[in-house]
């Protein structure tokens, strides 16, 4: 156990010294992708440049959706009922080790249900646990809050690829048909592997907590920023404008209309199967409108919520540029051909898992990346005699594996926690090095 802690601390010191900011990582990955496109895929420099610049704006819708996930979730977390619930959950942590164990299990459990919910609720739970347990190692606490995005989300109920191929009319239906989720998400293999990974990473979180004398506690200045949200006081002056801003009527009417739309949408589109990113954001927003009560309280909360969006706004276009290079220069095909050439029927699922993880580090977007990779991966699987559901699961697990060491999805969490990615990377690397061989072995056996 102490060996693991020393390894994590050593990796943490290394990352603090040599790993730059998340923005610098995105810039370096952009340059590396350009070099690979020209040197390996043989793309001409002007084509690479055009693909990069043009790709900047291909994920604007997705970027706005991600910004709204964080913004609306933050708004919701600042309401009294949700703050009360988070306080009760945080109160379950009675020791520093208990705090990180709780954080890891909650993060992975929520990500299994919905990755957006985990992203928001885990980020907010960090602030409540840190206030209740200032003796916890703050770096490890924040790292554990990120476990769900690297370990369970693409094996759970919001998994992009498995849900897509289970939807009638999906773009691959002519080649593989519709694959029900009981052959992917609810298969014995996926459920068993998920349970093993959750148990293993929860135990690892407990083991990684340093001794009290080596614990890095939350900075008092950061802790002060994590203080309770204070709603605005109602002005003594009376006027129609002040009455409207401080009346519950507008929020009640507007939120009520939102509830009616949501109920109608779910009723007409198959219940929970109609949930997607837009519906989740809509639900968070309308819930925040109703629970904050008045326009004045909602606007005050929105000012605080907007403060965590800088990383998303600044860096998502850079990753969209990388995505543009992969899509337009044939680089994804070259990487795929390499991995397929190394495969047999028995090893193909494990190769797809590793390949998907490599590409995910450069293009961390599960749904968009699946649209690029799926056609040639499934063609290769057909040639080798591998069932398509195995390819879907291998892709899904690989797609989330390298999220553990990629700052893209951690940006909202880091914005709330007031940390840099390099502060938590040491612990995440240990988790990744424990997690990767386990899942790789599972897919070798699965093949």
Q: Which pLDDT tens digit goes with each residue over 108-135?
A: 998 888 777 787 788 889 988 998 999 9
Q: For residue 41, how many C-alpha atoms fall within 13 Å in the half-sphere facing its CB?
A: 25
Residue 225 has a pLDDT of 65
pLDDT digits 0-9 by tens, 241-250: 888 989 899 9
Q: pLDDT for 138-185, tens place per residue?
A: 999 999 999 998 899 999 877 878 877 887 777 678 888 888 888 898
Give the per-residue pLDDT at 202.
97
pLDDT single digits (tens) 36-70? 999 998 999 999 999 999 988 877 877 787 788 77
Give residue-wise pLDDT tens across range 306-353: 877 877 788 888 888 888 898 888 887 787 677 678 888 899 999 999
Rounded to an integer, the average pLDDT of 365-373 is 68
| Confidence band for 290, pLDDT divided at 50, 70 and 90 | very high
Q: Is it the case that residue 71 has pLDDT exceeding 90?
A: no
Give the model's pLDDT for residue 272: 65
- What is the band of 410 on the pLDDT scale with cuts at 50, 70, 90? confident
Q: DSSP for 143-160? A: HHHTHHHHHTGGGTTT-H
Residue 103 reports pLDDT greater than 80 = yes
Q: What is the pLDDT confidence band of residue 269, given thresholds at 50, 70 and 90? A: confident
The total number of residues shown for the chain amounts to: 447
Q: What is the pTM of this model?
A: 0.80
Reported as a single tens digit per residue, the pLDDT across 193-204 is 999 999 999 999
pLDDT computed for residue 371 by the predictor: 67
Q: Quickly list DSSP for 194-234.
A: HHHHHHHHHHHHHHHPPPGGG--PPPHHHHHHTSPP-PPPP
Q: Mind listing the pLDDT tens digit for each residue in 4-41?
A: 778 877 877 777 777 787 788 889 989 999 999 999 98
What pLDDT is recorded for position 286?
Answer: 94
Distance CA 356, CA 102 (A): 30
Residue 137 has pLDDT above 80, yes or no: yes
Which pLDDT value is given to residue 187? 93
Which has the minimum average pLDDT: 93-102, 256-265, 375-384? 375-384
Rounded to whole angstroms, how far apart are CA atoms 15 and 415?
19
pLDDT of the residue at 273: 60
């Amino acid at each position: 156990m102490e060996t693991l802690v020393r390894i994590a601390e050593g990796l943490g010191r290394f990352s603090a010294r040599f790993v730059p900011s998340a923005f610098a990582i995105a810039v370096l990955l952009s340059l590396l992708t350009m070099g690979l496109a020209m040197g390996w895929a043989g793309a001409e420099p002007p084509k690479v440049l055009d693909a990069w610049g043009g790709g900047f704006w291909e994920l604007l819708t997705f970027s706005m959706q991600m910004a709204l996930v964080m913004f609306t979730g933050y708004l919701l977390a600042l309401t009294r009922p949700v703050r009360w619930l988070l306080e009760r959950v945080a109160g379950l942590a009675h020791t520093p080790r208990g705090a990180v164990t709780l954080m890891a299990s909650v993060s992975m459990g929520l990500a299994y249900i919905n990755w957006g919910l985990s992203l928001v609720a885990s980020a907010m739970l960090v602030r409540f646990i840190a206030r209740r347990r200032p003796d916890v190692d703050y770096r490890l606490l924040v790292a554990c809050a990120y476990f769900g995005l690297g370990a369970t989300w693409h094996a759970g109920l919001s998994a992009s690829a498995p849900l897509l191929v289970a939807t009638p009319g999906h773009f691959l239906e002519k080649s593989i048909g519709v694959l029900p989720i009981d052959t992917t998400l609810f298969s014995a293999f996926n459920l068993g592997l998920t349970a093993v990974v959750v148990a293993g990473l929860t135990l690892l979180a407990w083991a990684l907590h340093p001794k009290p004398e080596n614990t890095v506690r939350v900075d008092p200045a950061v802790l002060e920023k994590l203080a309770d949200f204070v709603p605005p006081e109602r002005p003594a002056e009376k006027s129609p404008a002040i009455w409207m801003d401080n009346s519950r009527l507008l929020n009640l009417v507007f939120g009520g209309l939102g509830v009616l739309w949501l109920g109608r949408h779910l009723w007409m589109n198959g219940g929970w199967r109609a949930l997607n990113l837009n519906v989740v954001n809509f639900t968070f927003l309308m819930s925040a409108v109703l629970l904050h009560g008045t326009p004045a309280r909602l606007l005050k909360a929105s000012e605080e919520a907007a403060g965590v969006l800088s990383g998303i706004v600044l860096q998502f276009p850079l990753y969209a540029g990388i995505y543009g290079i992969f899509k337009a220069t044939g680089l994804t095909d070259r990487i795929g051909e390499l991995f397929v050439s190394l495969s047999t029927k028995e090893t193909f699922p494990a190769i797809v898992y590793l390949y998907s993880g490599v590409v995910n580090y450069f293009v961390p977007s599960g749904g968009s990346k699946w649209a690029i990779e799926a056609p040639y991966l499934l063609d290769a699987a057909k040639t080798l005699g591998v069932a398509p559901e195995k390819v879907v699961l291998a892709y899904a697990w690989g797609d989330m594996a390298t999220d553990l060491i990629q700052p893209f999805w951690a940006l909202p969490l880091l914005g709330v926690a007031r940390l840099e990615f390099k502060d938590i990377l040491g612990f995440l690397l240990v988790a990744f090095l424990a997690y990767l061989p386990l899942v790789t072995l599972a897919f070798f056996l699965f093949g």
